Amino acid sequence: MTYVFPPPTPTAVPVDSGGLFPVRRIFCVGRNYAAHAREMGADPDREPPFFFMKPADAIVRDGDVIPFPQATTDLHHEVELVVALLHGGRDVAPERAAELIYGYAVGIDLTRRDLQAAAKAAGRPWDMAKGFDRSAPISTIARRIDGHALDRGAITLAVNGQMRQSADIADMIWPVADTIAHLSRLVELQPGDLIYTGTPEGVGPVKPGETLEAAIDGVGRLTVTIE
């Protein structure tokens, strides 16, 4: 069968040991750190996690320059641990979740905060606040080196050298294994899926000309510039 037009080039992320990780879908966890939930005016009690999505082609690689997105005057940074899945499954038990993981990366969930606020006020979905073009910067993927889900490590983000976010992934309300388990009860996970696991407190605005530097101990570093 002939395509009407050539299909797009698949989105892929470099791996630290060589090769490319093909991206199938991007899932994101909302409000997975108690302090961030409070700064966003939400209750940090341990309710089940909720998820939203970004398109796979929203990926931005380390070192790239990103044009300031259209339709916003309030672009925010949110640094996150990203989990890359090698295997899929449904109704995965938390104790088996690590078996699905290929590796980890540093991610930034760029957010058009003004659009998100308007959507919240109207009771509408966040899609255009979260899933816009070039909204998912990600570092090189670090291969998982043991059989356990990553459960601690400093996570930071600086803007033009000034620290904005600093926490530990041990502070997540729902750790990696529990997040995978919950998501697998909503969709059948597949190889190539990425999970952005939520951001700690300290989110804030980004302006044209600013450089974002994000890092997670034992995972890697990510730098992108907004033009």
Structure tokens at 36: 């961030």
pLDDT for the residue 36: 66
146-190 tens-digit pLDDT: 778 999 999 999 999 999 999 999 999 999 999 999 999 999 999
pLDDT for the residue 146: 79
pLDDT for the residue 148: 83
1-13 tens-digit pLDDT: 899 999 999 999 9
Q: What is the CATH number of domain 12-226?
A: 3.90.850.10
- Domain residue ranges in the chain: 12-226
3-class SS at 35? helix
* Mean pLDDT lowest among 97-101, 134-138, 145-149: 145-149
The one-letter amino acid at 178:
D
pLDDT for the residue 85: 98
3-class SS at 29? strand
Q: Are 157 and 77 in contact, with CB atoms under 8 Å apart?
A: yes
78-97 tens-digit pLDDT: 999 999 999 999 999 999 99
pLDDT for the residue 47: 78
45-78 tens-digit pLDDT: 667 899 999 999 999 999 999 999 999 999 999 9
pTM of the predicted model as reported, rounded to 2 decimal places: 0.96
Q: Are 214 and 156 in contact, with CB atoms under 8 Å apart?
A: yes
Q: Which residues make beta-bridge pairs with 216?
A: 155, 220
Q: Across the chain, what does the average pLDDT equal?
A: 95
Structure tokens at 204: 């804030």
Question: Where would I find the beta strands (DSSP E) of 3-62?
Answer: 12-14, 20-22, 26-30, 50-54, 59-61
Q: Which sign, positive or negative, has the C-alpha torsion 206, 76, 66, 33? A: positive
15-46 tens-digit pLDDT: 999 999 999 999 999 989 987 666 666 666 66
